[in-house]
Amino acid sequence: AQRAVMFFEHLKHTDGQFYNQPFILLDWEKQIIRDVYGTLRADGTRQYKYVYIEIPKKNGKSELAAGAALYHLFADGERTGEIYGCAADRKQAKIVYKVARDMIELVPALKKRARITDSLKTIADKVSGSAYEVLSAEAFTKHGFKTSACIFDELHAQPNRDLWDVMTFEAGAARTAIGGPHCVSTPS
């Protein structure tokens, strides 16, 4: 749990008055991170497969979601992990991607490891082979993924539950070593 907290706190804020300052977690954010990443089953895998978080507007939900995406991308210990960013539309999913990309640009160690392809909205870790990708909202094109983590933004805006079902119940069945996919919904 402390390893995850330390990873988040090595990231930097990407805009506003805190630009380029360390992303120091508030106590309630630390508790969430510790619970999600530090609560384990007897076999060492994470207890929580799904995480649902509601955070009011302008309270750092995109930063917290981007931090989770980057933790899974760079620090989760999984080779060739597949991390996806989902929302009701691709434009909304790009918000968390942009924060994650900007965080990487501000941390030299991550920048050195990352291969960012803005045109495709993907970030790859050159060391682990893991990748973070923003997806469109069409559920019918998402079958067959081996999801390591799914950052699902604005869940309440989904027109139906099709994308949620595909990204949570059907994806990631082969990814049991670390605990399966984590989907985080951060409605405003």
Cβ partners under 8 Å of residue 93, min gap 6: 85, 86, 87, 121, 134, 135, 137, 153
**DSSP reduced 3-state for 138:** coil
Element counts in the chain: helices (H) and strands (E): 6, 7
Predicted TM-score (pTM) of the model is: 0.88
Cα distances (angstroms) measured from residue 93 to each of 9, 19, 40, 120: 23, 22, 29, 12
Apex 90 CA angle, 107 and 144, nearest 5? 90
Most confident option among 10-14, 36-40, 85-89, 92-96: 10-14
pLDDT tens, residue by residue, 50-79: 888 888 888 889 999 999 999 999 999 899
Neighbours of 144 (CB within 10 A): 8
* pLDDT class of 188 with cuts at 50, 70, 90: very low
